[in-house]
């Protein structure tokens, strides 16, 4: 007992000792900081691209976007878009009213609206000013069954005279939203639905050009990827075709035959000539490919100062000087444009008429290219 009592005296000391342990023992920290996480603005932050459509001049577009089911995406702050926005006036100019929107099928409105949305932020500062332009995929997949990654593209461009998407002027650029940017456009930006060859195949004024293409493809199946028809029917192609009118071919063939074939014979005469042994396939092919460039240039992309650009011909003859293009602007619109082959005495004129396909003759936009009608056949040599 004596010993225990003596030990008891020590207990306070031991207790203090133990308490001091626990005071020392604050929390161990296992890991130091790993750093911050990325934060996003919460949904509902204004303005979003969707709330921008609440403006009083956006009623038709808002109705169309709503019908297309795109409104939730345009409200989502973790998605990023560029919206090309025709206001009510632009819609009306393009012949689209609320009634039209209501009348059109959901799939048609969806396609139309998806073509106005690019899935990334394209502010005008990032649009290149150099020839020809860049292409930006829109939300519109023309053939989802073919590939989930297929997209129709738009072609924003910027020059001293203005800013466009395809050949549609951007009237009010760079309206910022938390989830992207909106550019007001002067007209509806119509998505193309046909291939370049579809127009050539059906336009009566291009029947001789078509015959030239067929002769140029002699020996190749139309489905061959190296055939011109094949390329003109390929969704992956990106072309500008300077398509000589029938009269342009008539004038050329008449000159080549020293007038033996007049300039005003029936179209069939020239078509037969191009199929005959009077010309070689190689010559015709050389001329046809000289009218095709492997980039998409609307007339507003053609520089004011004449510029030589390569053509399809340069794939075979890399050193060829190509064709020379030039344009004249009146305000934000192109009033005249020319294209000249190296062996032509004068430049041929693009028939300016941007009425959408099939009615117009310039800036005719297709799934895989654009066609401008010209009044001379371009001669590479």
Partner 1 sequence: MRKRYNVFAAFIISCMSFITANAQTVTISGTVTNNTSKEIVPAVSVVVKGTSKGTYTNSNGEFTLKVNKLPVVLTFSSIGFDSQDITVSDASKSIEVDIKVNNALGQEVVIAATRAPSKILESPITIERITNADIKNSPASNYYEILGNVKGVDLTTSSLTFKTVSTRGFNGSGNLRFNQIVDGMDNQAPGLNFSVGSVIGLTELDVESMELLPGASSALYGPGGMNGTLIINSKNPFKFQGFSFLAKTGIMHTDQKYRNASPYYNWSARLAKAIGNKFAFKLNMELVKANDLLAADDRNFARTGTTGKIVPGSRTSDPNYNGVNIYGDETSADIRAVLSGIAAQAPFLAPFIATLSANPINVSRTGYKEIDIVDPETLNYKIAGALHYKLTSKIEAIFSGYWGTGKSVYTGSDRYALKGLKMGQYKLELNHPNWFLRGYTTQENAGETYNSTVATQLFNEAWKPSPGSTGWFAQYGQAYLSSKLAGAIDIDAHNQARAIADIGRPVPGSQQFKTIFNDVISKPIPKGGKFIDQTDLYNYEGQYNLSHITGSFADVLVGANYKKYVLNSRGTLFADSAGTIGISEFGAYVQVSKGFAQNKIKLSVSGRYDKNENFSGKFTPRATMVINVAKNNNLRFSYQTAYRFPSTQNQWINLAVGGGTRLIGGLPTFRDFYKFNTNPVYSLESVIGGSPKTPTFSEFKPESVKSYEAGYKGLIANGKLLIDLYGYLGNYTDFISSMVLLQANSGNPADLADPSKRTAYSVSVNAPQKVKTSGYGLGIDYRFYKKFSFTSNFSSDILGDLPVGFVSYFNTPKYRFNIGLSNNGFGKDQAFGFNIAYKWQDKFFYQGTFITGNIEAVQTVDAQISYKIPLSKSQLRIGANNLLNQYYRNAAGNPSIGGLYYVSYGYNIF
> What does the binding site for partner 1 look like in residue numbers (CB under 8 A)?
3-4, 6-7, 10, 14, 17-18, 21-22, 24-32, 34-38, 40, 73, 78-81, 117, 119-120, 134-137, 139, 147-153, 180, 235-238
DSSP structure string for 206-224: GHHHHHHHHHHTTTS-TT-
Please tell me what DSSP assigns to residue 96: -
The least CB distance from residue 328 to partner 1, in Å, is 28
Q: Which is nearer to partner 1, 7 or 355 (CB)?
A: 7
Q: Count of residues for the chain?
A: 381
Calpha distance 212→19 (Å, rounded): 101
290-293 long-range contacts (CB < 8 A, ≥24 apart) are: 290/323, 290/341, 290/378, 290/379, 290/380, 291/209, 291/241, 291/242, 291/243, 291/244, 291/374, 291/377, 291/378, 292/228, 292/231, 292/239, 292/240, 292/241, 292/242, 293/239, 293/240, 293/242, 293/323
Smallest gap, in angstroms, from Cβ of residue 32 to partner 1? 5
The residue to which tokens 């577009």 are assigned: 61
Task: Output 296 or 340, the one with its CB closest to partner 1.
Answer: 296
Nearer to partner 1, 18 or 106 (CB): 18
Judged by beta carbon, residue 21 or residue 359, the one nearer partner 1 is: 21
Cα–Cα distance measured from residue 27 to residue 323, given in angstroms and rounded to the nearest whole number: 77
Q: How far is the CB of 236 from partner 1 (least distance, A)?
A: 6
- The nearer residue to partner 1, 115 or 209, going by C-beta atoms, is 115
Beta bridge partners of 162: 159
Closest contact distance (angstroms) between CB of 346 and partner 1 is: 34
Report the residue number, 119 or 222, with the smaller CB distance to partner 1: 119
Output the six-digit token pair for 45: 């932050």
Measured distance CA(64)–CA(50) in Å, rounded: 12
The least distance separating partner 1 from the CB of residue 189, rounded to whole angstroms, comes to: 16
Closest distance between partner 1 and the C-beta of residue 178, in Å?
A: 11
What is the smallest separation between the CB atom of 14 and partner 1, expressed in angstroms?
7
> Between residues 6 and 318, which has the closer beta carbon with respect to partner 1?
6
């Amino acid at each position: 007992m004596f010993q225990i009592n003596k030990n008891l005296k020590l207990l306070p000391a031991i207790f203090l000792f133990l308490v001091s342990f626990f005071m020392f023992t604050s929390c161990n920290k296992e890991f130091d900081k790993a750093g911050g996480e990325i934060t996003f603005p919460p949904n509902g932050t204004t303005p979003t691209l969707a709330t921008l459509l609440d403006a009083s001049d956006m009623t038709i577009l808002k109705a169309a976007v709503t019908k297309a089911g795109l409104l939730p995406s345009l409200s989502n702050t973790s998605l990023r878009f560029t919206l090309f926005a025709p206001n009510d006036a632009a819609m009306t100019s393009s012949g689209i009213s609320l009634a039209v929107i209501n009348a059109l099928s959901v799939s048609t409105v969806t396609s139309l609206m998806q073509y106005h949305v690019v899935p990334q932020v394209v502010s005008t500062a990032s649009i290149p000013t150099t020839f020809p332009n860049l292409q930006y995929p829109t939300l519109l997949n023309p053939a989802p069954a073919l590939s989930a990654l297929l997209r129709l593209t738009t072609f924003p461009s910027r020059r001293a005279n203005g800013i466009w998407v395809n050949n549609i002027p951007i009237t009010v650029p760079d309206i910022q939203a938390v989830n992207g940017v909106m550019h007001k456009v002067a007209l509806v930006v119509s998505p193309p639905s046909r291939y370049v060859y579809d127009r050539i195949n059906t336009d009566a004024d291009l029947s001789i050009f078509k015959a030239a293409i067929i002769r140029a493809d002699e020996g190749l199946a139309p489905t061959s990827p190296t055939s011109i028809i094949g390329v003109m029917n390929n969704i992956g192609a990106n072309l500008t075709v300077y398509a000589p009118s029938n009269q342009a071919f008539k004038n050329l063939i008449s000159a080549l035959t020293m007038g033996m074939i007049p300039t005003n014979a029936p179209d069939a005469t020239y078509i037969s000539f191009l199929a005959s042994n009077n010309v070689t396939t190689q010559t015709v092919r050389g001329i046809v490919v000289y009218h095709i460039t492997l980039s998409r240039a609307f007339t507003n992309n053609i520089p004011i100062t004449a510029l030589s650009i390569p053509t399809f011909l340069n794939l075979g003859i890399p050193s060829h000087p190509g064709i020379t293009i030039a344009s004249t602007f009146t305000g934000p619109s192109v009033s005249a444009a020319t294209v000249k082959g190296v062996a032509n005495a004068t430049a041929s004129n693009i028939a300016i008429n941007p009425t959408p396909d099939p009615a117009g003759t310039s800036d005719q936009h297709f799934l895989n290219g654009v066609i401008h009608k010209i009044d001379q056949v371009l001669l590479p040599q």
